[in-house]
Structure 1
Amino acid sequence: MALTRLEKAQVWLTKAAMGVFYMLFRLLSPRGAEESLKRKLPPVINPLLVVSATQLARKIRRKEVSSVEVVRAYIDRIQEVNPFLNAVTKDRFDAALQEATQVDKLIEEETGGEEVLEDRLPLLGVPLSVKESFALQGMPLTLGLVSRKGVVATVDAAPVAQLKRAGAIPMGVTNTSELCMWWESNNHLHGITNNPYDLERIPGGSSGGEGSILAGAGAVIGIGSDIGGSIRMPCFFNGIFGHKTTPGVVSIENHYPACSGRQEEYCSGGPMCRYAEDLLPMLRIMAGPNAHMLSLDTKVDLKKLRFFTIPHDGGSAATYPVSKELIEIQRKVVERLEADLGVNVQEVRFPELRYGFQIWDTYMGLPDKEGKPPQQFAELMGEPGQPAWPVWELLKWMMGKSEHTLAAIGLGLMEMVRVTKPSAFLMQQKEKLQKEMDELLGTDGVFLYPSHPRVAPKHHHPFFRLSDCAYTAIINTLGLPVTQCPLGLGEEGLPLGVQVGAGKLQDHLTLEVALYLEKTFGGWRDPGAN
């Protein structure tokens, strides 16, 4: 059985529609914006900016450096690079300095020794950036919507609160795509965010502000959310580490937009950072009372794991082919694993992956157990007022009057023509793929899969590549943990990378592989030095 003619037509219409939207954008948008992006990010000078959060916390506890010094260093760096990146949308520098002063005072007065502080406050005095879709008390919670301008969080989202309780100091909130449902971080409230390796390219979305400021060394650790690749795509495009946790471990309470339908099954919060050694301690903290679900204290022997490599999705009509340089870098990972660890990396292929985007899109639209469907995107666009009318918004956009981005309008339009009855064929493909992957991986299997078909595209080009997020999105639908790992820079000086996935609740396996890949391929690179 294959896709019906109607389903095939939907794929074609989706790609064609986004192509038309992009043409409209190029024709109707003001010129000259590209010229302002021909600048280069300044290189990192302050040595405090190239130290992991784990090591910074240790230095602060040992009084080798004060928290105030570290926070000031990051304030200076944000002020230096944010005019290039437009990643941080609202800072809290004054409050951060006050909190850093309190940290230094606490350390001076502590009588229990460094071990007590490490156990109780493992991130004491370390700066933290926060994706704006997570509630951070006293900071904007707008989701890039003009209609939500002035909305301020009154509480902390659970993982934010847990990181703060561990001693981390929030520096501010970062930009997202409008309503977090597009893989370019652009909206009419805060503007467009740039990639630090090439300011004419996207940092990804929806955690694009996080990815951009982390890669630009304006932050050392950050927090993101992922329902279709919103942690992994920005981490890939920006050459940093990011982990999509097994769903249900990291709370997404007070994260917006709220999940509806069955979306909680696919959405995860997780850590984003420049240094692989920060992933596990961050995840342990962010998981809070659910940390016991994961085997984070289990020592992992990489030589005893079973490794698999999936080179591509099998040639989907909906996605671009994986580029030669990404195929090649994944092959090099395989070669190094086999040479260094003495393991055999088996190449496997799953025909169902070619339907990855359609499967994800189908499951995102399924109702919950009580039969209640997900909230309509047009309703979210209209918050806190009446639902938006996408056709009217498109006409307004063509006149330069809409408060919404073309991407959001396009998603609203596609929602209007969406088939309401889920495809039995696609659901069969998902269940078959789920069973095959679960049986293959077990509790000791790890797989490699491209993070994306291409390196970071230029601004607005995702209109032509709508379905390329399938490489990350399908893993959300399967509910597997996965870590995006940077693998150096490619031909154009842009980051390369790979996804490392494992069976459900086996997050500790992918985090250990991330440490190995950082040591082997060098990890994050200073974009200002390239």
Structure 2
Amino acid sequence: MCGVFGHKPTSHLIPTKGMTFRTGKEEQTMVVVGVLARFSEEITPILKVLVGENVEKLQLDKPVNIKSLKVYYILDPKDPFVSPSREEMKSTLTGAVNYFSGLCDTPPKEVEFEGTKYTGKLWKYWMSQETNANFKRDVMNREGEAQPLIEIFKYVTGRGEFCGSTIFNFINGLLPTPKDDWARETTEQLSKQLLDTLGEDGVLLYPSAPWPASYHYTAFLRPWNFNLFSIWNVLKFPVTQVPMGLRYGLPVGIQVVTAPNQDRLCIAVAKELEKAFGGFVPPYPLE
């Protein structure tokens, strides 16, 4: 969450060839190219270019009636590894909920899905399923393989060659991977619940972070807050990060999620929230 709009499209529509070691022929991957923009109106034209010949699947030019949308929201995903949300983040999301309460024909509804509390485990499992993925080789530019235990020791003794996030990944890689059957069943169940709820006219408002932008490097102390957005890579659902102004001079925002191929609903809601709450705020006055 950095104060600008970001859109992660429906998976498997944009070629991944050339993204690190990927060939573009991977049958399943959580990796997808997305859009970063200061203004919501910039998302669609950039997305059209990225999607290319698959653009018809998204029907990006089809009008969206905001009033007829069904809005759902989750204030707390119940993930025990994610830091508790501060009041300013809760009020940011409830502000969007209250706005749509007065705009939409159907009042927003709070929902809960048990699978969201397992995001960290699901992410770890599906990372292990990435074709030709080998983090220990990737950090060495595929010229040799890093030795996690040695690199962790070097890091804690002040001689490390890798940053904190890389060391965290080394540690995470040493932990057991969730069981195949459980991970696949849990992912499928959560995906089905969301699909049944959202359908073709529903959007889900979801937290972006537990607090506004934090000090540099403090994210290393709370690595699992990443779960708030990695879940949509796991499920391969489209999601738009929407900036919602500033709190204490720092950007805050929420995520807007829809069912696969319904990206236009994400973008339409992002545009509506931009009008209502101001969207991107420059870090300094622009002349």
Contact preservation (8 Å) 2:207, 2:254: yes
Partners of 1:290 and 1:450 lie apart in 2 by 29
Quote how far apart the aligned CAs of 1:399 are.
5.3
Q: Which residue of 2 aligns with 1:131?
A: none
Q: Deviations over 1:441-491 (max 9, x none)?
A: 11111110001222212111122211111110111111111100010101x
Q: Which residue of 2 aligns with 1:514?
A: 270
TM-score normalised per structure 2: 0.92
Aligned positions of 1:159-178 closer than 5 A: none
Q: Which residue of 1 aligns with 2:58?
A: 294
Partners of 2:4 and 2:164 lie apart in 1 by 28
Confirm whether residue 413 of structure 1 aligns to residue 171 of structure 2. yes
Q: Which residue of 2 aligns with 1:338?
A: 101
Quote how far apart the aligned CAs of 1:376 are.
2.0
Partners of 2:231 and 2:24 lie apart in 1 by 18
Partners of 2:206 and 2:179 lie apart in 1 by 27
Q: Which residue of 2 aligns with 1:305?
A: 69
Change (3 A) 1:327 1:375: same
Contact preservation (8 Å) 1:247, 1:264: no
Contact preservation (8 Å) 1:262, 1:364: no
TM-score normalised per structure 1: 0.51
**Candidates 343, 347, 359, aligned match of 2:110:** 347
Partners of 2:53 and 2:63 lie apart in 1 by 21
Confirm whether residue 523 of structure 1 aligns to residue 279 of structure 2. yes
**Candidates 486, 495, 501, aligned match of 2:257:** 501
Aligned positions of 1:91-170 closer than 5 A: none
Partners of 1:261 and 1:325 lie apart in 2 by 43
Q: Deviations over 1:261-291 (max 9, x none)?
A: 9784322111101011011111111111121
Change (3 A) 1:265 1:407: closer
Which secondary structure does the structure 1 equivalent of 2:11 belong to? coil
Contact preservation (8 Å) 2:86, 2:211: yes
> Which sections of structure 2, spanning at least 5 residues, go unmatched?
none
Quote how far apart the aligned CAs of 1:424 are.
3.7
Confirm whether residue 487 of structure 1 aligns to residue 244 of structure 2. yes
Quote how far apart the aligned CAs of 1:409 are.
2.5
Number of equivalences: 286
Confirm whether residue 274 of structure 1 aligns to residue 30 of structure 2. no
Q: Deviations over 1:160-215 (max 9, x none)?
A: xxxxxxxxxxxxxxxxxxxxxxxxxxxxxxxxxxxxxxxxxxxxxxxxxxxxxxxx
Partners of 2:134 and 2:43 lie apart in 1 by 34
Q: Which residue of 1 aligns with 2:152?
A: 394
Q: Deviations over 1:496-516 (max 9, x none)?
A: 101001111000111111110
Which secondary structure does the structure 1 equivalent of 2:284 belong to? helix
Partners of 1:398 and 1:464 lie apart in 2 by 14
Quote how far apart the aligned CAs of 1:420 are.
4.7
Q: Deviations over 1:28-74 (max 9, x none)?
A: xxxxxxxxxxxxxxxxxxxxxxxxxxxxxxxxxxxxxxxxxxxxxxx
Q: Which residue of 2 aligns with 1:365?
A: 128
Quote how far apart the aligned CAs of 1:359 are.
1.3
Partners of 2:178 and 2:104 lie apart in 1 by 48
Change (3 A) 1:426 1:514: same
Partners of 2:283 and 2:92 lie apart in 1 by 20
Q: Deviations over 1:212-258 (max 9, x none)?
A: xxxxxxxxxxxxxxxxxxxxxxxx2x211010000011222111253
Change (3 A) 1:465 1:375: same
Partners of 1:428 and 1:262 lie apart in 2 by 22
Q: Which has the higher contact order (CA 8 A, sep 6+)?
A: 2
Which secondary structure does the structure 2 equivalent of 1:439 belong to? helix
Contact preservation (8 Å) 1:484, 1:500: yes
Partners of 1:343 and 1:474 lie apart in 2 by 27
Partners of 1:339 and 1:436 lie apart in 2 by 27
Quote how far apart the aligned CAs of 1:259 are.
7.9
Quote how far apart the aligned CAs of 1:392 are.
2.0
Q: Deviations over 1:71-127 (max 9, x none)?
A: xxxxxxxxxxxxxxxxxxxxxxxxxxxxxxxxxxxxxxxxxxxxxxxxxxxxxxxxx
Change (3 A) 1:527 1:367: closer
Which secondary structure does the structure 1 equivalent of 2:60 belong to? coil
Q: Which residue of 1 aligns with 2:88?
A: 325
Contact preservation (8 Å) 1:310, 1:447: yes
Partners of 2:257 and 2:33 lie apart in 1 by 16
Partners of 1:261 and 1:254 lie apart in 2 by 11
Q: Deviations over 1:382-402 (max 9, x none)?
A: 224211112222333355544
Partners of 1:255 and 1:365 lie apart in 2 by 18
User: Aligned-residue CA RMSD in angstroms?
Assistant: 2.3
Change (3 A) 1:349 1:379: same
Change (3 A) 1:419 1:466: same
Q: Which residue of 1 aligns with 2:212?
A: 455
Change (3 A) 1:261 1:419: farther
Confirm whether residue 473 of structure 1 aligns to residue 230 of structure 2. yes
Which secondary structure does the structure 1 equivalent of 2:100 belong to? helix
Partners of 1:324 and 1:468 lie apart in 2 by 16
Change (3 A) 1:398 1:361: closer
Which secondary structure does the structure 1 equivalent of 2:204 belong to? strand
